């Protein structure tokens, strides 16, 4: 009987200990931070600014992240630079002719540069020449350029930059890693529309509610497509497709296996004998690249006229070339 009572009392004590409630002040366990796997990291320079890039995959997310960071600008410096930018807008007066004329964009930047340097020296009296140039470049890019989008365009590893709306992060297409979501976000739909209008003014195109679609190209030759709401349901969009920094040649085509030497020789003879040629294919199949390669065979003593919806062809400088762009009827 004594043994049975002892076993029963032990069972009761176990029940009591199991039923003990937690203390009200006990801290709750924190959820573990998501695991991050670094895929790639590198640095590049944009307008004298050192830029750091980190590509990583976060556990639970389907797409890797492209994180861009300007390492030399702190939060406090950013606040002062924003104050300088607002004072800059008040001090510099620009006429509409300066803003809209393509060939006078250098004059606009010169006006801004002179005032920016004075303001930077006013707010940062002890900085050296290199830092002053860096901060001036940053402010010019933010005031006259496309802001962080221009920094992305200076990354040679990227082929495409896509802004889908002010609610969504900016996306990029990386040569090694494909589509990536960045840590950049455009602050408002008005800002995206402003960027589209700025690009359009530089190339003589217009994007409005009546003409909500725009195909254009930057001075560097990069292609731009922009849309406005309600054509794009979620918000205003901009897509920038970069041109290759190193143009394709017939030699690089043969080395990569895109064309055989015998086919290259046949095309060369066809161009020399002025035969008609059609280059066709699906989207992103390499039509423009092929045309740029074939253009190297054009005789330098011939006059060449190109007509494009959006300027993409890049012919050698020694050719007698007149590039033209189409216009919408009655535009």
How far apart, in whole angstroms, are the C-alpha atoms of residue 263 and residue 268? 9
**Which of 88-92, 182-186, 215-219 is least confident?**
88-92
Alpha helices in 174-311 (DSSP H): 189-202, 250-256, 261-272, 287-295
**Angle (nearest 5°) at CA 51 between 66 and 182:** 20
Mean pLDDT, residues 154-167: 91
**pLDDT at position 10:** 53
How far apart, in whole angstroms, are the C-alpha atoms of residue 164 and residue 160? 13
pLDDT at 190 over 80: yes
**pLDDT at position 171:** 95
Alpha helices in 92-238 (DSSP H): 96-100, 105-123, 129-144, 148-153, 189-202
Most trustworthy range by pLDDT among 146-150, 151-155, 205-209, 323-327 = 151-155
Encoding tokens for residue 237? Answer: 């969009």
Question: Quick one: which H or E segment has residue 54?
Answer: strand 49-58
How far apart, in whole angstroms, are the C-alpha atoms of residue 67 and residue 172? 11
Average pLDDT taken over every residue of the chain: 78
Long-range CB contacts for residues 80-85, cutoff 8 Å, separation at least 24: 80/123, 80/124, 81/135, 81/138, 81/139, 81/142, 83/123, 84/116, 84/119, 84/120, 84/123, 84/139, 85/139, 85/142, 85/143
**pLDDT at position 99:** 42
**pLDDT at position 74:** 66
Q: pLDDT by residue (tens digit) across 268-311?
A: 999 888 888 888 888 778 888 888 888 888 888 888 888 887 77
- Name 167's Cβ contacts closer than 8 Å, sequence gap at least 6: 234, 235
**pLDDT at position 226:** 92
How far apart, in whole angstroms, are the C-alpha atoms of residue 162 and residue 173? 8
Mean pLDDT, residues 42-58: 86
Q: pLDDT by residue (tens digit) across 226-263?
A: 999 888 888 999 999 887 667 778 888 898 888 899 99
Is the torsion defined by CA of 306, 311, 315, 320 positive or negative? positive
Q: How many other CB atoms are there within 10 angstroms of residue 135's CB atom?
A: 26
**pLDDT at position 67:** 92
Encoding tokens for residue 244? Answer: 């290759």
**pLDDT at position 26:** 52
How far apart, in whole angstroms, are the C-alpha atoms of residue 35 and residue 220? 40
In sequence order, the β-bridge partners of residue 158 are 174
Q: pLDDT by residue (tens digit) across 289-298?
A: 888 888 888 8
pLDDT at 30 over 80: no
DSSP state letters, 98-122? HHH-GGGHHHHHHHHHHHHHHHHHH
In sequence order, the β-bridge partners of residue 306 are 323
Q: Pick 178 or 121 by higher pLDDT.
A: 178
Encoding tokens for residue 11? Answer: 């069972």
pLDDT at 175 over 60: yes
Q: Pick 160 or 70 by higher pLDDT.
A: 160
Q: For residue 223, give the 3-state DSSP assignment.
A: strand
Q: pLDDT by residue (tens digit) across 70-113?
A: 766 666 777 777 777 777 766 665 443 344 444 445 555 666 67
**pLDDT at position 82:** 75
Classify each residue of 145-163 as buried b or exposed e, where b means 16 or more C-beta atoms within 10 Å of its C-beta: bbbbbbbbbebebbbbbbb
Q: Pick 116 or 17 by higher pLDDT.
A: 116
% of the chain exceeding 70 in pLDDT: 78
């Amino acid at each position: 009987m004594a043994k049975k009572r002892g076993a029963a009392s032990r069972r009761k004590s176990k029940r009591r200990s199991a039923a003990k409630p937690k203390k009200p002040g006990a801290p709750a366990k924190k959820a573990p931070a998501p695991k991050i796997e670094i895929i790639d990291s590198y640095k590049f320079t944009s307008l004298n600014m050192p830029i750091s890039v980190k590509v990583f995959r976060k556990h639970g997310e389907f797409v890797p992240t492209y994180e861009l960071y300007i390492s030399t600008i702190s939060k406090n410096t950013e606040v002062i630079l924003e104050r300088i930018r607002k004072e800059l807008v008040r001090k510099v007066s620009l006429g509409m002719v300066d803003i809209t004329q393509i060939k006078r964009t250098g004059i606009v930047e010169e006006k801004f540069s002179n005032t920016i340097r004075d303001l930077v020296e006013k707010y940062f009296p002890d900085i050296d020449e290199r830092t002053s140039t860096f901060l001036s470049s940053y402010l010019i890019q933010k005031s006259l350029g496309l802001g962080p989008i221009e920094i992305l365009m200076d990354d040679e590893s990227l082929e495409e930059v896509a802004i889908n709306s002010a609610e969504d992060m900016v996306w990029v297409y990386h040569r090694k890693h494909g589509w990536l979501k960045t840590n950049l976000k455009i602050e408002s739909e008005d800002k995206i529309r402003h960027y589209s209008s700025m690009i359009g003014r530089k190339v003589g195109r217009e994007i409005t509610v009546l003409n909500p679609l725009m195909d254009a190209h930057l001075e560097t030759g990069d292609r731009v497509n922009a849309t406005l709401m309600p054509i794009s349901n979620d918000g205003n969009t901009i897509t920038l497709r970069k041109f290759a920094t190193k143009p394709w040649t017939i030699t690089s085509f043969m080395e990569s296996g895109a064309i055989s030497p015998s086919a290259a020789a046949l095309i060369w003879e066809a161009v020399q004998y002025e035969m008609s040629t059609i280059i066709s294919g699906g989207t992103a199949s390499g039509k423009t690249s092929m045309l740029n390669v074939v253009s190297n065979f054009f005789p330098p003593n011939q006059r060449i006229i190109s007509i494009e919806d959006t300027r993409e062809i890049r012919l050698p400088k020694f050719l007698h070339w007149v590039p033209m762009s189409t216009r919408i009827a009655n535009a």
